[in-house]
Amino acid sequence: MSKKNFALPRFIASVAAPILAMAGGPWGGKPQDDAQDGDKPGDGSGTGPRNPWTQPPGGGRGGERPADRPSLFDDLLRRSRERFGGGRGPGGAEPGSPEVRSLWPIALAVILVLWVIMTCFHRIGPQERGVVLQLGKYSRTLSPGIGFTLPAPFETVDSVDVEEIRTIDVGSVGDGAENLVLTGDQNIIDLAYSVRWNIRDAELYMFQLADPDSTIREVAESAMRSVVATVSLPEALGAGRTDIEQRVEQRMQEILDGYRSGVRVQGVAIKQADPPEAVNDAFKEVSAAQQAAQTYMNEARAYAQQLAARAQGEAAAFDKVYEQYRLSPEVTRRRMYYETMEAVLADTDKTVVEPRGVVPYLPLPEVKRRSAGAEAQSPAVGANAQGGQ
């Protein structure tokens, strides 16, 4: 390896060393600080593998490493000064120390470089925002793309997905548990709905609410119940649903804005608004009654149609005949009479009783039987049958 190849990592190491030494402060500090600061490197965005690598310089220093650290640093500093002709590090350099030729300085330098690269560059996805904390203080928000920050202990990045639509379901469709809600007319309905929301403002979302998710759920429930409490049962069951959804959405947004929560409510969807199980049969009865009422009316309308058609038909027939009849009343009348009588008498048993004044006894069953047996005309006497006209 040439000298030049060694120069860069060593230089970085010499610069990074004091940084590392300062970084050691919170980690090696008192337990109360550990709890707070220990998770900082892990909060970074998407740099999963960083943790294992950073472990040695962070955790291990308290143990065996400090023994050779001063000499190591001295060595690095001295050599870097030889190359660059300047004192880069803080004081404490010792010109007289022997050179330590081992792999440790190289390994340390590599780790440091990786550490810096991993914690300075942050890939923020297109749907994300990176909230940069400068020693715990909010500094700025990174937009999608590659973001640069100071290395880890000084600046950390928490990336938040702001585009993802999150859904909260309240109540459930199908299973036995009912989410009963009182309506304005003191009736009860079983309601299931879902709320879609996303993060509008990453830093507000992170810093304002102690528990954003459960807050949103509670606000949703509160808003829904207060809105449903103003509508009547029929509205809640059907017609007013869209209106309710809009009002709940609006109300939720108002409340959440009041908290400065950085949350945008995208929509509220009522998935189910049914009468409770206990009274469902009564509601079905109503719809059955509606069906029955429709049935009655349909039948009546059919009858009406039939009747009207028949009346029109008969009237039209009469009119047509009457028109002809008017042209020659006498002939038409006789023609119709004969035709009708012909048709009637052709198919029937006929008995003509000749002698007048005889009022005979007519055994009707006998007439029936005989007429069934033969076509023969009986000589039996009969009552007068008066013809038309």
Partner 1 sequence: MQALFRNPVVAALTALAVVILIGSTIAIVPETRQAVIVRFGEPVRIINPYHANERFGSTGAGVAVRIPFAEQIVWIDKRIQSVEMERQQVLSTDQLRLQVDAFARYRITNPLRMYISAGTEERVADALRPILGSALRNELGKRTFVALLSPERGQVMNNIEAGLNRVARQYGAEVIDVRIKRADLPDGTPLQSAFQRMRTARQQEALTIRAQGEKQAQIIRADADAGAANIYAASFGKDPSFYDFYRAMQAYRRTFNAQSGGQTNIILSPDNEFLREFQGR
- Considering beta carbons, is residue 165 or 286 the nearer one to partner 1? 286
| Nearer to partner 1 among residue 6 and residue 325 (C-beta) | 325
Residue 97 or residue 123: which is nearer to partner 1 going by CB? 97
Per-position DSSP letters for 158-180, written without gaps between them: EEEESSPPEEEEES-SSSS---E
Distance of CA 63 to the CA centre of its chain: 55
Q: How far is the CB of 17 from partner 1 (least distance, A)?
A: 13
Nearer to partner 1, 165 or 308 (CB): 308
Q: CB 275 → partner 1: shortest distance, Å?
A: 7
Residue 184 DSSP class: T
Both tokens of residue 42?
């892990």
Q: Minimum distance from CB of 207 to partner 1 (Å)?
A: 5
Instruction: Measure the CA–CA gap between 273 and 241, rounded to whole angstroms.
Output: 8
Q: How far apart are alpha carbons 157 and 121 in whole angstroms?
A: 10
Whole-number Cα distances in Å, 204 to 40, 157, 165, 257, 389: 19, 15, 17, 10, 106
Please, what is the minimum distance in Å from the beta carbon of residue 231 to partner 1? 10
d(CA 157, CA 132): 5
Give the nearest distance from C-beta 297 to partner 1 in angstroms. 5
Angle value at C-alpha 106, between 105 and 112, nearest 5 degrees: 90
58 or 105: CB nearest partner 1: 58
Closest contact distance (angstroms) between CB of 228 and partner 1 is 9
Amino acid at 281: D
Nearer to partner 1, 8 or 100 (CB): 100
